Amino acid sequence: MKVIVDLALCQDHGQCAIAAPEVFQINDEGHLEYDATPDEAMREYVEEAADVCPVQAILVEG
């Protein structure tokens, strides 16, 4: 599974980090960091994160 976040869209809402904290984190500067190739076991949470991103910046591929 591949995760792509369109960082031009991302506004650091942090909703993804609530849904899938193992994959998405907000760093101390308040910006998003994420694992672009998470384990397949994370799929449900990653899809949830993509659903709840207010600006729909998260794309899940494969």
Q: Are 50 and 58 in contact (CB under 8 A)?
A: yes
Among residues 2, 22, 43, 56, which is the contact residue for another protein, using CB under 8 A? Answer: 56
12 lines the binding site for another protein (CB under 8 A) = yes
- Residue 59 binds which one of another protein, ligand SF4, none, with CB within 5 to 8 A depending on kind? another protein
Among residues 3, 20, 23, 32, which is the contact residue for ligand SF4, using CB under 6 A? Answer: 32
| DSSP H helical ranges for the chain | 15-19, 43-52
47 lines the binding site for ligand SF4 (CB under 6 A) = no
